[in-house]
A and B are shown apart, each in its own frame.
Chain A
């Protein structure tokens, strides 16, 4: 069974930093692109970014709203995905989901999400 478990969410002040992790199991993590998607309270889904697999040199893509502030990385030896968030803004408040991207680039599997609150 595919499992994605996010951790690291919490309360942070504007301008601060926070790191999220996602532990993956039940599938061959290294074979998949991995994404982060967020959802502000009561709002819709927003794609945050992607890290490709080793065969694609672990290259990344980001939404314009987070580019230059957020960094996505992975450690295939630990089956883990990471999201480092810097210079946080109140509008970054959201539930952050870890997503395993299927071979056809659709979002097959989602974690349960972790809440990040940016507030003073």
Chain B
């Protein structure tokens, strides 16, 4: 199975901050990676797919990069509605796997 390791697991940040979350894969997955945002009590929402393609309707302050084994999700200027948990996911091979999540909290 391909393991995905996110860092950090928790981040205390402020509105307006630039935030970067890293996802490392245990083996190469080319660009077969997505990022999801989940708020408490809600289903996850697709933000970015194919490592760097912004899903329709997602604000441009979100961006993704990387390929192979290292990927990043960047939020250029945090907004109040961005405080949530973020997960990376690989779809390169079965089983589909997710990272353990990164929780953003207001400082």
Contacts and interface: CB of A to CB of B under 8 A. Distances in A.
Contacts of B45: 110
Contact of A104 (B1, B43, B49, B101): B49
Tell me the interface secondary structure of chain B in the complex: loop
B89 interface: yes
A104 B95 contact: no
A46 interface: yes
A61 B43 contact: no
B25 interface: no
Contact of B91 (A44, A97, A105): A105
Residues of A in contact with B, size category: 20 to 34
Contact of A113 (B36, B43, B91, B98): B43
Residues of B in contact with A, size category: 20 to 34
A112 B49 contact: no
A27 to B, nearest CB: 14
B94 A61 contact: yes
B3 interface: no
A44 B98 contact: yes
A104 B53 CA distance: 11
- Among B91, B96, B99, chain A packs the most CB atoms within 10 A around the CB of B96
Contacts of B19: none
A47 interface: yes
Nearest to A105: B91
Interface of A: 35, 44-47, 50, 61-64, 97, 102, 104-108, 110-113
Given A35-B96, A105-B32, A113-B43, 15 more contacts: A45-B98, A47-B95, A47-B96, A47-B97, A50-B96, A61-B94, A64-B95, A97-B43, A97-B44, A106-B34, A106-B46, A106-B50, A107-B44, A107-B89, A110-B45
